[in-house]
Amino acid sequence: MTRRLLRWSPLAPATVLLVLFLAGPVGYCGYLAVTDTQLTGQESASFVGLANFRHALADPEFRNAVLLTLVFTVVSALLGQNTLGLALAGLLRRASRPVRTVTGAVVITAWVLPEIVAGFLLYTFFERRGTLNAVLAWLHLPTQDWLFTLPILAVSFANVWRGTAFSMLVYSAALAEIPQEVTESAEVDGAGGLRRLWHITLPMIRRSIGTNLMLNTLQTLSVFGLIWALTRGGPGNRSQTLPVFMYDQAFVKSLIGYGTAVALLLLVVGALFSAVYLRLLREEV
Amino acid sequence: MRGGRRRRERWPLARRAVRRRASADAALLVVAVAFAVPLAWLVLASLDERATLRVRLPAAPTLHNFTAVLTDEITFTPMLNSLLICGGATLLTVGCAALAAYPLSRFRSRFARPYLLTVLFSACLPVTAIMVPVYALFVRVDLIDTRYGTALFLAAAQLPFAVWLMKNFMDGVPAALEEAAWTDGASWFQTLLRIILPLMGPGLSVVAVYTFIMMWGNFFVPFMLLLSPEQLPASVSIFTFFGNYGAIAFGELAAFSVLYSTPVILLYILISKRLGGGFTLGGAVKG
């Protein structure tokens, strides 16, 4: 028994750190979410049960944040990063070497840059006096103040710009594992590009698609810095996704209890996606 | 006759391959240009004393923006803070992960698999979501506005993925060499330190560099947990360019961004061979 304990003792430092700084806050999250804790006068916090959650469901601003999070996730993660990443991975396999190197380097640089730098770069790109409008004007196309008229789409495109490299890497690895003969024999049988994609490539990489969709969604659910640098959730609350809403409620409006209830909901959604992701992985391993 | 037929068959195929390559190249170049435009702003504006929000070639390229931001207050202190916080947290993460990976990789037990699955599960959770309770907790235990408190939290947040990666790399080191050391009377700690870790050097550096990159770019954690300006790392201090005066010095913002981004780009290049091949980043979730 002592020997066994000794054997597993190296797990202790990591476990202590995880329990204190991850499990602890998650537990505290559960506690705070059922209180009316405020930034000022913390001693007077009292138990309010599910009031915070009921309040959330009735709060139009919360529903707005849920809807925007949904738009942000679907447009940037599911449609944008995932599809563009797959397309890039497919094209990279056919392209000539210099083009492959350059494109890969540019897309990956966007991913490696610190989040806040990426935010500023895209701010200058979308701003009224920024590059996008300059290009549109040069092409004689109508310009507009993107961060004001379509803020949620602007932040979604920003997230595509920043996050596509991840999907590209995942799919490049997945496509590299498809045996050459399979695609070749389909080609000899006269299957066109789209049919090959639909009937052969996609089914063969479906597990990678599943895990990639999960990871993209989880990443996108927790984006804060990018939106903060671009719009701070504004104008008004038109790009206020759940993390920004959470921050706003807890720190601008000082409603820690309410902000934590929102955080808990976000955490539960994240946990569901993580669980599905683990299921997918378990099949693979 | 046969040769002629073969040639006739091969030519259209070859031509199709060329055409296909050309169209793939064209499509990729369009995407590359679209992705490169914001990056071009970063480089060009940093060299342009009168930088605006638009991408444009500087009339007279100069390093003035860089010399302007290379002061204690703007660059050196925040970068040093970043280095202290992220460097310390990386050491802690890698140390804890290496220790934890050892029994998980070497011994059989009923609870090793549930432990690993829990770790992987928590690696996926959106850390952003718990920052409000973490803030409240840090106020209570008096860790708020301390660099070591921030480093401790960053280390914990990055630890699950590091443990997972480290365990996979450690599995790749054959146990035979260790067994020789065991018979010579080495303790498990000596075996880990002298035999396993040196043998998994490349894997170890991937974990360390990846952890460091993730922390270096993290904005939300220090944004929440640090308050005093002199403690802020570069990821948060960058907001001072949006000053209280209304006017933004875009050239200097770009120059500072270049300085702040360079270390992680160089480190990424260092490990990219390993990240690109074989290692598919399954589970790399923190953005």
Q: What share of chain B is helix, strand, coil (3-state, %, to 5)?
A: 75, 0, 25
Write out pLDDT tens, residues A13-41: 999 999 999 999 998 888 888 888 776 65
The phi and psi torsions of B13 (rounded to 5 degrees) equal: -60, -45
Write out pLDDT tens, residues B266-275: 998 888 776 6
Characterise A145 by phi-psi region: left (phi > 0), alpha (psi -120 to 50), beta (else). beta
Task: Check residue A281 and give its pLDDT.
Answer: 75
CA of B34: which chain A residue's CA is closest?
A: A161
Task: Check residue A42 and give its pLDDT.
Answer: 54
Mean pLDDT in residue range A122-149? 88
Task: Output the average pLDDT for chain A.
Answer: 87
Rounded CA separation A19/B142 (Å): 18
Q: Which of B130, B131, B260 sits opposite A114 (nearest CB)?
A: B260
- Closest by CA position to B107, among listed B176, B171, B186: B171
Mean pLDDT in residue range A186-204? 80
Q: Which of B44, B90, B124 to mutate to test the interface with A (most CBs of A within 10 A)?
A: B124
A131 shares contact with chain B (CB less than 8 Å): yes
Is the model's pLDDT at A51 over the cut of 70?
A: yes
Residue holding tokens 């944040």?
A65
Q: How far is B1 from chain A (nearest CA, A)?
A: 23
Paired residues of A35 in beta bridges: A47
A84 shares contact with chain B (CB less than 8 Å): yes
Confidence of residue A237 (pLDDT cuts 50, 70, 90): confident
Q: What is the full DSSP assignment across B119-155?
A: HHHHHHS-GGGGHHHHHHHHHHTT-TT-HHHHHHHHH
Task: Check residue B3 and give its pLDDT.
Answer: 47
| CB half-sphere exposure, B237, CA atoms < 13 A | 23
Q: How far is B103 from chain A (nearest CA, A)?
A: 6
Contact B257, B45 (CB under 8 A): no
Q: Are B54 and A129 a contacting pair at CB < 8 A?
A: yes
The phi and psi torsions of B52 (rounded to 5 degrees) equal: -115, -165
Contact B211, B90 (CB under 8 A): yes
What is the 8-class DSSP label of residue A35? B
Q: Is A47 helix (H, G, I), strand (E, B) or coil?
A: strand
Q: Are A169 and B126 a contacting pair at CB < 8 A?
A: no
Sign of CA dihedral A152, A153, A154, A159: positive
Q: How far is A260 from chain B (nearest CA, A)?
A: 6
CA of A39: which chain B residue's CA is closest?
A: B136
Q: Measured between beta carbons, which residues in chain A are less than 8 angstroms from residue B53?
A: 124, 127, 129-131
Residue holding tokens 């496509």?
A175
**ipTM for the complex shown:** 0.89
pTM: 0.89
Task: Check residue A283 and give its pLDDT.
Answer: 64
Q: Measured between beta carbons, which residues in chain A are less than 8 angstroms from residue B103?
A: 7-8, 10-11
Q: Measured between beta carbons, which residues in chain A are less than 8 angstroms from residue B249?
A: none
Is the model's pLDDT at A73 over the cut of 90?
A: yes
Rounded CA separation A176/A89 (Å): 9
**In 10 A of CB A235, how many CB atoms?**
13
CA of B157: which chain A residue's CA is closest?
A: A22
- Closest by CA position to A259, among listed A270, A244, A239: A244
The phi and psi torsions of B47 (rounded to 5 degrees) equal: -100, 5
Tokens of A48: 């309010």
Task: Check residue B10 and give its pLDDT.
Answer: 58
Which of residues B244 and A245 earns the better pLDDT score? A245
Rounded CA separation B160/B166 (Å): 10
- Residues 51-70 of chain A with CB under 8 A from chain B are none
A114 shares contact with chain B (CB less than 8 Å): yes
Task: Check residue B240 and give its pLDDT.
Answer: 80
Residue holding tokens 């450690």?
B170
CA of A113: which chain B residue's CA is closest?
A: B261
Tokens of A214: 């999960």
Q: How far is A83 from chain B (nearest CA, A)?
A: 13
Is the model's pLDDT at A64 over the cut of 50?
A: yes
Q: Are B38 and A121 a contacting pair at CB < 8 A?
A: yes
Is the model's pLDDT at A139 over the cut of 80?
A: yes
Regions in chain B scoring below 70 on pLDDT = 1-13, 243-247, 274-287
Task: Check residue B179 and give its pLDDT.
Answer: 83
Contact A18, B156 (CB under 8 A): yes
Q: Are A277 and B124 a contacting pair at CB < 8 A?
A: yes
Contact A267, A29 (CB under 8 A): yes
Task: Check residue B16 and give its pLDDT.
Answer: 77
Rounded CA separation B80/B85 (Å): 9
Q: Are B137 and A281 a contacting pair at CB < 8 A?
A: no
Tokens of A225: 């810095």
